[in-house]
Amino acid sequence: MTDTLDATAVAAVARLAAAGSEPFPADPDQAYIVQDADGAHRLIDTWDPDYAPCPRSSARRVEADDVDSLAAYLDRLADNTALEVWADRRAGEVVAVLNAPAGPGETGWADHRAVLKLRTSPDWAEWRELSGRLVPHEQMAEFLEDHQRNLVEPDAATAIEIAQSIRGAANARWESTHMLQNGQRAFEWREEVEAKAGRKGQLEIPTRLRIAVPPYLFGRPFDVTALFKFQIRDGRLFLGVKLLDPDLVEDAAFGETAQRVADALAEKHPGVPVLAGGPGPAAPRRPGLG
């Protein structure tokens, strides 16, 4: 194959000729000191982007949305001798470094990275945002209706009945509460119409919920218990939930994802462990080189 010289190379050859030197083919893996016609010397690095046909190595960060996509990327590009994989719980991501040091005494740029960034699922974010807060009972009714897909106990149908009962007493004055023998809590209410006593009733709600929600997108649902909370203020009923140990649930979900990555690596990348922690900064490169 015949190489075509660009304008820069032609000019360099011309300067060499003017200096009385014969042009010669350059090794693409070397740097050369060249004497110009005026006797000055300069360095030509054939790996410089102005001369190299492609970067000497990949310096990039890609983000995968799921374990299968991360594994497919590593299967296509990763060399086991220079591959490191880190599960960084604090950052909520699994990071694969494809050009890490290959062994003791070796060096690597460590700047070609494939990242599985665990993103919180919308449902989990909404339950966490509600957890520990008390909201007007009408707002709680709307929340239960919107999240009936997450409910395990009571089931969605029962939750809808509770929500409808709450809505049915929207204009009532809440007066008292007591526990029932079945473990539920009863709230007494009385409706006032034009300052006169109207109908009255009782609302029964469970003291706890069990929900199934995936903490992260593309992950499986986890069972979580939530305690029902309440408060009566000036005749108004406020309800809320408190998730039990949500941080532990997220830890378990992250650990499960890291194990799935390890299982995916085992077949085509044997001997590459998933390490706990972060990979640290990449080695600095000279600007313009890649």
Window from 12-16, 80-84, 115-119, 269-273 with minimum mean pLDDT:
12-16
pLDDT at 289 over 70: no
| Least confident interval from 98-107, 178-187, 213-222 | 178-187
**Quick one: tokens of 284?**
């600095």
| d(C-alpha 284, C-alpha 212), whole Å | 45
3-state SS record for the chain: CCCCCCHHHHHHHHHHHHCCCCCCCCCCCCEEEEECCCCCEEEEECCCCCCCCCCCCCCCEEEECCHHHHHHHHHHHCCHHHCEEEEECCCCEEEEECCCCCCCCCCCCCCCEEEEECCECHHHHHHHHHCCCCEEHHHHHHHHHHCHHHEEECCHHHHHHHHHHHHHCCCEEEEEEEECCCCCEEEEEEEEECCEEEEEEEEEECCEEEEEECCECCCCCEEEEEEEEEEEECCEEEEEEEECCHHHHHHHHHHHHHHHHHHHHHHHCCCCCEEECCCCCCCCCCCCCC
The pLDDT value recorded for residue 275 is: 96
Answer for the pair 189, 203: CB distance below 8 angstroms, yes or no: yes
Residues 6+ apart with CB under 8 A from 84: 96, 97, 100, 110, 272, 275, 279
Q: How confident is the model at residue 202 (pLDDT cuts 50, 70, 90)?
A: low
Half-sphere exposure of 14 (CA within 13 A, CB side): 7
| pLDDT tens per residue across span 238-275 | 889 999 999 999 999 999 999 999 999 998 999 999 99
Query: What is the model's pLDDT at position 13?
Result: 58
pLDDT of residue 114: 96
More confident site: 190 or 248: 248
195 band by pLDDT with thresholds 50, 70 and 90:
very low
CA 220 to mean position of chain CA atoms: 15
- Hey, how many other C-beta atoms are within 10 angstroms of the C-beta on 151? 20
